[in-house]
């Protein structure tokens, strides 16, 4: 049974068909990779699912509910989370304070109340940090953390709303290979433990092949292939897009980095 059902989704910018009638589904507990060359329409797809962009056509259903036409905040409340980069303004807060902020947002408390609510939600925030292996660093300022650890905190923040579906647009950008693997292994673990669904984009094909349950491939706004990682690797249309110009998956990754 699918959690997310996308049908004939489309979005144009001027004359450019950024997303041109794509359909796919996503099941609970599934890690689905959305890949494709730069400009293929991956981010546009993400932003239609989270409500930042309104689709020109088509439908996006979460459970039985239509998401097209809803505001980002309402879509978030329905259980669609996404990872945000910790803003510079929050870097001076400690790790646990950043997660407490996310929990406060969930309760719709105002930022102004933050200081009065100093210890509010601390236990819950620590529990989330335990899940991403960051509880021991809870009281350090985020500005002191290694890059890979900041990404773990961002994941904990995204989990605060207990999303049914988590969207991760290039979560491992700028990370060293070892850090990438650690973050995706952690994501995979959360998917398995919580039955959460994840839709993610990723440049490193090593990461995609190692962690994705299934993949969909976009090129120029169209969905050209769908399947398990090994099926995709040998798919003629995918070979054409990635290898046709003499590139390998790895070279594509390097040129995109
Ligand atoms: P990807 O994330 O796969 O690299 P995008 O979804 O960002 O691709 O972009 C798909 C196409 O839509 C590209 O041709 C891009 O230039 C265009 N595009 C994306 N966002 C906008 C925008 N806000 N205004 C105009 N064109 C856009
Ligand atoms: Mg993008």
Residue 81: predicted pLDDT = 93
CATH code: domain 4-79+165-256 is 3.40.50.300
- Stretches in the chain below the pLDDT threshold 50: 250-257
Query: For the chain, how big is the Rg over CA atoms in Å?
Result: 19
Contact 256 CB / ligand 1 (< 6 Å) = no
Residue 106: predicted pLDDT = 65
Query: Which tokens is 142 given?
Result: 């985020």
- 18 C-alpha to center of ligand 1: Å? 6
Query: Which tokens is 196 given?
Result: 């959460």
Residue 256: predicted pLDDT = 44
Residue 249: predicted pLDDT = 55
For residues 20 and 8, give the distance between their C-alpha atoms in angstroms, rounded to a whole number: 8
Residue 109: predicted pLDDT = 52
Contact 18 CB / ligand 1 (< 6 Å) = yes
Listed residue (97, 90, 85, 84) closest to 143, CA to CA: 90
Contact 32 CB / ligand 1 (< 6 Å) = no
Contact 51 CB / ligand 1 (< 6 Å) = no
What residues does CATH 3.40.50.300 cover in the chain?
4-79+165-256
**Which residue minimizes the CA distance to atom 11 of ligand 1?**
18
- Show Cβ contacts of residue 168 under 8 Å, excluding neighbours closer than 6 positions: 82, 83, 187, 198, 199, 200, 201
pLDDT digits (tens, 9 = 90+) for 78-124: 999 988 777 666 788 899 988 888 887 766 555 555 555 556 788 89
Sheet containing 222-227, strands listed edge to edge, beginning at the edge strand earlier in sequence: 80-82, 165-168, 197-200, 31-35, 214-219, 222-227
Residues whose beta carbons lie less than 5 angstroms from ion ligand 2: 42-43
SS3 214: strand
For residues 137 and 124, give the distance between their C-alpha atoms in angstroms, rounded to a whole number: 15
Residue 228: predicted pLDDT = 94
Contacts of 50-55 with C-beta under 8 Å, sequence gap 24+, read 50/75, 50/76, 50/80, 50/82, 50/167, 51/75, 51/76, 51/80, 53/11, 55/9, 55/10, 55/11, 55/19
Contact 43 CB / ligand 1 (< 6 Å) = yes
Is the CB of residue 10 less than 8 Å from the CB of residue 56? Answer: yes
Contact 235 CB / ligand 1 (< 6 Å) = no
- 45 C-alpha to center of ligand 2: Å? 9
Q: Which atom of ligand 1 is nearest to the CA of 44?
A: 6
Listed residue (133, 132, 106) closest to 121, CA to CA: 106
What mean pLDDT is reported for the chain? 87
Residue 5: predicted pLDDT = 98
Residue 69: predicted pLDDT = 96
- Work out the burial of residue 257: count CB atoms within 10 Å of its CB; fewer than 13 is exposed, 13-18 middle, 19 or more buried: exposed
What is the helix (H) or strand (E) element at residue 131, kind and residue range? helix 122-131
Q: Which atom of ligand 1 is nearest to the CA of 40?
A: 3
- 199 C-alpha to center of ligand 2: Å? 13
**Which residue minimizes the CA distance to atom 16 of ligand 1?**
39
Stated pTM of the model? 0.87
Is the CB of residue 134 less than 8 Å from the CB of residue 153? Answer: yes
């Amino acid at each position: 049974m699918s959690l997310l059902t996308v049908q004939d989704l489309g979005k144009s910018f001027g004359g450019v068909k950024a997303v041109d009638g794509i359909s796919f589904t996503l099941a609970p507990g599934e890690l689905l990779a959305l890949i494709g060359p730069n400009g293929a329409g991956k981010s546009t797809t993400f932003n239609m699912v989270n409500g930042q962009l309104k689709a020109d056509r088509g439908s996006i259903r979460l459970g039985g509910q239509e998401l097209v036409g809803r505001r980002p905040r309402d879509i978030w409340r329905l259980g669609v989370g996404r990872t945000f980069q910790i803003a510079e303004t929050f870097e001076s807060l400690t790790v646990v304070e950043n997660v407490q902020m996310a929990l406060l947002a969930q309760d719709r408390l105002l930022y102004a109340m933050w200081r009065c609510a100093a210890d509010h939600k601390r236990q819950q925030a620590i529990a989330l940090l335990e899940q991403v292996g960051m509880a021991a660093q809870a009281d350090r300022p985020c500005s002191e953390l290694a890059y890979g650890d900041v990404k773990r905190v961002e994941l904990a923040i995204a989990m605060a709303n207990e999303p049914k579906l988590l969207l991760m647009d290039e979560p491992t950008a700028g990370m060293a290979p070892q850090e990438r693997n650690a973050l995706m292994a952690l994501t995979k673990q959360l998917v398995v433990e919580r039955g959460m669904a994840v839709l993610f984009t990723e440049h490193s094909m090593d990461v995609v092949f190692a962690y994705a349950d299934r993949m969909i491939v976009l090129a120029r706004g169209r969905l050209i292939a769908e399947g398990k990682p090994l099926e995709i690797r040998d798919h003629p249309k995918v070979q054409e897009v990635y290898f046709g110009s003499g590139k390998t998956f790895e070279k594509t990754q390097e040129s995109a980095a």
